[in-house]
Structure formats: C-alpha cells, structure tokens
Amino acid sequence: MLVAKFADHLPLHRQSVIYAREGVEFERSLLASWVGAAGTLLRPLVDALRRHVFAATKLHTDDTPLPVLAPGNGKTRAARLWTYVRDDRASGDAAPPAVWFAYSPDRKGEHPQDHLADFHGVLQADAYAGFNAVYKSGRVLEAACWAHARRKFYDLHAVRPTSLTTEALRRIGELYAIEENARGKPPDERRDARQLHAKPLLDDLERWLHATLSTLSRKSDTAAAIVYALNSGRN
C-alpha cells in the first residue's frame, strides 16, 4: 500500500476501489491510519538518514514538481519534492551514498532554508533564488551546477541548432571529458588535473562567452543562457 501510494502515485481512494474490486473492503480512512502509523514507525530511520546525509561536507540538491490532489475542485496542484544527495564516490570518498527527501506544499525559499539550517559545507544546486539566503549566512559555499548551465544551451540547440549553441556545447563537453578522466581519483590529483587542463579551457570559455554576449540582445534566450553560464563559472 505504501509503495503504491508513494512510488506509483496511487491515491488512497483509488487503492480502496482497487481492493474493493477484489472483494476486500478497505475504507480510505483505514488506509490513511496505516500511512500515519507507518510514518511513525519509520521516523527514526528517516531521522538517521537525514543526519548521515547532512553530516557530509558537500551536498547536491534539486527539487522536482509533485502533483498532489487539491480536494474540492477535482484538480491537482504542484507541490515540491526536495532531494539532498550525499555521494562523493566520484571524489574517492568511501562514505556510503544516501539521499534524503523532503516534501513541501509549495516552492517557497523557506523550505530549503529550513532543511539547510544546520548544514556547513559546499552546496551544489541550480540558481533558484531560495538558496540565496543560505549562501549569505556564510555557512554554505555555493558550487553552481554546470549541468544546469549546459541544459540551457542544449534546449536552445534542440529547437534550433546554431553555430553558437554548437560551440557552447562543444566547449562544455571538453570540460566534462576532463572530469570523466579525473572521476574517482584522490582530491589532490583531481585538483591538479583541473588546474592543468580545465582552468585554461574555462578561462578561454569565459572570454568567448563575454565576447559573444556583446553581440547579442540582452533580451534573447541565448543571452540569458550565456549570463547563466557566466554566473555558474564564477562559483
């Protein structure tokens, strides 16, 4: 029942109908009480998982829309599922990887700010403004995400390829190749590889982005992608 609700997104009232079709009568109120009881039993495990995840010195986070029923109007509304990932295997860390999920009814910045209230370290995230207060606290260092920067060029390229989007993706791809070769190596070796190989490419990419930006309208989608990439590169 829990897997059907949370993994397969089957609301309890639908499950009640499915069970009834098989001749088993389960009122939705009974199923709801089971969900609550299971949540109470699992709470110590969830808390332990959260402590392990937030004990890391580096976290990856993102959020995704989650459709939930809006009682009374027959529609759904967009809630949010926040994901916090501890996984430094690519950095040679042997600590067990783990993910902690948090639900919120909306995407207000107060939610990640509350989740990260006691975290100290590096946070890799997108450019969502709700994280700004976390960075301003001085406890958390921003590590902007190149995957998000690349996606903006990729989305433009998928709709209408241009020489500009092609070049941007090629340059970012070269950085990805360096990271692929350094993945799993000790921190000192990864740092040396980045300083020797990635830094010259990043410096050249920044010059190219600035030069290209000067030829575009600041209102264009391509200019927005470049500005985002420049901000990502600084972090």
In a structure prediction context, what are the per-residue pLDDT tens digits for the chain, which is 235 residues long? 999 998 898 989 999 999 999 999 999 999 999 999 999 999 999 999 999 999 999 999 999 998 887 877 778 889 999 999 999 887 778 899 999 999 999 999 999 999 999 999 999 998 888 999 999 989 999 988 888 889 999 999 999 999 999 999 999 999 999 999 988 888 889 899 999 999 999 999 999 999 999 999 988 999 999 998 887 755 5
Q: Supply 16's token pair.
A: 């009640």
* Domain's final residue, options 143, 170, 199: 143
User: Which pLDDT belongs to residue 71?
Assistant: 76
Asked if residue 47 belongs to a domain, the reply is no
pLDDT score, position 235: 52
**Structure confidence at residue 233 (pLDDT):** 58
Question: How many domains is the chain partitioned into structurally?
Answer: 3
122 domain residue, yes or no: yes
Considering the domain architecture, whether residues 151 and 228 belong to the same structural domain is answered as: yes
From first CA to last CA, the distance across the chain in angstroms is 44
- Kindly state whether residue 48 falls inside one of the protein's structural domains: no
H or E segment at 201?
Answer: helix 199-213
What is the rounded (10 degree) CA torsion for 163, 169, 173, 175? 100
* Pair 60, 138 in one domain: yes
At residue 51's C-alpha, the angle toward residues 46 and 56, to 5°, is: 130
Same structural domain for residues 86 and 102? yes
> Is 190 part of a structural domain of the chain?
yes
Give the pLDDT confidence score for residue 105 in this predicted structure.
94
What pLDDT does 183 receive? 86
The range of the structural domain enclosing residue 108 comes to 55-143
